Amino acid sequence: MKKRILTGDRPTGKLHLGHFVGSLSERVKLQHKYEEFILIADIQALTTNFNNPENLRQDIIEVTMDYLSCGIDPEVVTICVQSMIPELSELTMYFSMFTTVASLRRNPTTKAEAEEKRYGQNIMHGFLGYPVSQAADIAIFRAHLVPVGEDQLPIIEQTREIVRKFNNLYGSVLIEPKALIGEVGRLIGIDGQTKMSKSLGNAIYLSDSSSVVERKVRGMFTDPTKIHLGDKGHPDNCPVHIYAAIFNDDRGVVEETREACLTGKLGCVTCKKKLAVALNKFLEPIREERKKYEGCPEFITEILLRGTKKGRDEAGKTMKHVRKAMKIDYFRQ
């Protein structure tokens, strides 16, 4: 029996380079080795988008197209929509009964996100509690491994605590999962902020056209101490070099450029031009693949319906064990 992977994304927009290096490339690599489930977390998207739910439908389709264009094979990977599996909400509720508010307030991920969004005392119940919902997502699919970016580590840790607590209370029913961090745990944004993120508006999307990539790279934040061509740079702290080191497959060029920046022989404009070429080379096959799906939303919907049905069956199986362990399986057939 293959071990399981559960991972997912919030359908709050198209996927970007950060998703690719943080989690998506691992999902592609491991799709044949593990039984893989990808959950499109539309309920979790509502934690910040409850006032504009009309975008979710299209964003679910966009995210699915991004998966397929990066090489996720829908014949082996099960792609499900969170809100269409009501068992997830049921398990979230059971977990909520023994998860303390203090532990949720302490969670470094939600704490940082709430500060960024300036929620203060007006934090929503659903936002504060989203680690509980994520724990239910992972546990219901009986996943062993969760490929995520570094920002998600505290959430996986909280999932492990919740699962341990459940198992201590009711018996060993659920699996304690492990996080798997991608090749780059946290990709910096084009504006130099610590994380590329959809909601921070500092992303290069996997579906951006070559001219958009060129424009975004031209406007990228660079080492602020390097103002003139001859100034010595600090490439290891500069997003342009960081991206080049990840996405430029010509290691020789990356090393030469780094040396030339360190000694002040290379200006940022030339460096950015090289990066734009490298990124476009990296993204071109993904864009080409995406074209195949762009005109066929029915094909995407069919994949989602099929995946969600299978996901729901699996969730149903786990819930039978959960209810039995909790001794609340009364009056059922």
Nearest distance in Å: CB 197, ligand ATP = 4
Of 95 and 127, nearer to ligand ATP (C-beta) is 127
Burial of 173 (0-12, 13-18, 19+ CB in 10 A): middle
Which H or E element spans position 292? Answer: helix 268-294
Nearest distance in Å: CB 265, ligand ATP = 31
Residues 134-193 within binding reach of ligand ATP (CB under 6 A): 148-149, 151-152, 186-187
Residues 12-41 within binding reach of ligand ATP (CB under 6 A): 12, 18-19, 22-23
In the sheet with 4-9, reading across from the earlier edge strand, the strands are 77-81, 35-40, 4-9, 145-148, 178-181
How many residues are given for the chain? Answer: 333
Nearest distance in Å: CB 11, ligand ATP = 8
Nearest distance in Å: CB 156, ligand ATP = 10
Q: Which stretch binds ligand ATP (CB under 6 A): 11-19, 66-74, 254-262, 304-312?
A: 11-19
Of 7 and 257, nearer to ligand ATP (C-beta) is 7
Of 137 and 266, nearer to ligand ATP (C-beta) is 137
Q: Is 331 left (phi over 0), alpha (psi -120 to 50) or beta?
A: left
Q: What is the token pair recorded at 119?
A: 């929620």
Of 138 and 266, nearer to ligand ATP (C-beta) is 138
Helix axes 108-116, 130-140, angle to 10 degrees: 140
Which H or E element spans position 40? Answer: strand 35-40
Nearest distance in Å: CB 8, ligand ATP = 7
Q: Is 220 left (phi over 0), alpha (psi -120 to 50) or beta?
A: beta
Of 23 and 170, nearer to ligand ATP (C-beta) is 23
For residues 33 and 3, what is the distance between their CA atoms, to the nearest angstrom? Answer: 8
Tell me the CA distances in angstroms from 259 to 229, 293, 306, one per residue in order: 14, 42, 52
133 binding ligand ATP? (CB under 6 A) = no
Q: Cα-atom radius of gyration of the chain, to the nearest Å?
A: 22
Tell me the CA distances in angstroms from 151 to 12, 127, 131, 186, 310, one per residue in order: 17, 16, 12, 7, 29
Work out which of 4, 6, 9, 38 binds ligand ATP, going by CB under 6 A: 9
Of 49 and 226, nearer to ligand ATP (C-beta) is 49
Of 12 and 99, nearer to ligand ATP (C-beta) is 12
Work out which of 195, 226, 272, 312 binds ligand ATP, going by CB under 6 A: 195
Maximal CA-CA distance, the chain? 78
For residues 135 and 78, what is the distance between their CA atoms, to the nearest angstrom? Answer: 19
Work out which of 25, 199, 210, 270 binds ligand ATP, going by CB under 6 A: 199
Helix axes 268-294, 251-262, angle to 10 degrees: 150
Q: Which stretch binds ligand ATP (CB under 6 A): 8-16, 53-61, 67-75, 281-289?
A: 8-16
Nearest distance in Å: CB 255, ligand ATP = 24
Q: Which stretch binds ligand ATP (CB under 6 A): 27-35, 101-109, 197-205, 285-293?
A: 197-205
55 binding ligand ATP? (CB under 6 A) = no
Contacting positions for ligand ATP (CB under 6 A): 9-10, 12, 18-19, 22-23, 148-149, 151-152, 186-187, 195-199
